Structure 1
């Protein structure tokens, strides 16, 4: 089937090509707005300060690569049960299973960025700040760093960060369009009726006359 034939076929079933994508988009929009809960994200950043190596003031990690390694190690501490359990107890929760926690450590820097996502604005800010405090305590104890200082304390977000409802609706619209095209093509493949001049190609004989169809005639 050529592109021109496909376009002609879609034009013959234009109602289906329009109605099905719109119906899918409406269904996805209804689900997104009625059943998908808002999520909120907040961010806090921390700076890792290492201990002096000697009394002369030389740092334990004097180059940027070593500093990055320390920051990466502390970022890994965020996944430890001890840090998360301490943070959960600090905010009065049994665990942090209802929160999505991500940690990023930029290259050649001691700055760590912590992002917490959850269903309540105030709760995500409290969890983020509790995690920052907890990881600082554990890092000082087990890694012998001087401190993990909070640069920007997490605050309660004022607007939801998700879900991305417009994206879901667009995906539903495109899915409906692809489904409509597939249905139209399948209907054409299953239709074995001979139409128009196809009989000339099938029989190999010329047309010697045509009988017009008169609607409403006797």
Structure 2
């Protein structure tokens, strides 16, 4: 068993997951896929690569998938847990760089918005939306993190234990903001490593109006609670 576990949530990622798993095989990591019953054969591709797959009966959300993966990592005694997208947006070469920084912070975030971070193949609207969400989260929550919404992360398991991950409620991309907020509230140290984020070339984005609305409502409610000292 390696000391680091990569947790990858999937739903209909058959076009991209195989190449990602091939690239990850060059690193000293174990991989766990949490698949929400993909009808396109995503789980079968993972199994053919010799990867452990937890298959659920339907779409249960990003947050639920990561909570499941974190719990398994804690139970099995891993030292670090890595979050990574299945669609090829997160480069394995960037993960290799991030892993060189393990031990410097309890939470390492692969950041698009720090110096030397970059994005490829995004529209200006998508870029402004992401930057706006991060600005809004930092304004209301005073997180002092450039990329609160990044899903490319390495957690030390001792931090996850302090965070009480079973009580994290967010399901969509707001999950990353809630995890950042909780990590800081628990005294966790946070470091941001520049990455190049590449917009998916295959498959469809999971972003929706409902996911965006969840983020706005939760960030606003947390900001109000912070304002009144709760």
Confirm or deny a common fold (TM above 0.5). Answer: no
Instruction: Report which of the two has the higher share of helix.
Output: 1
Higher relative contact order, chain-length normalized (CA < 8 Å, sep 6+):
1
Instruction: Provide the TM-score with structure 2 as the length reference.
Output: 0.23
Based on CA coordinates, which of the two structures has the bigger radius of gyration?
1
Instruction: Provide the TM-score with structure 1 as the length reference.
Output: 0.24
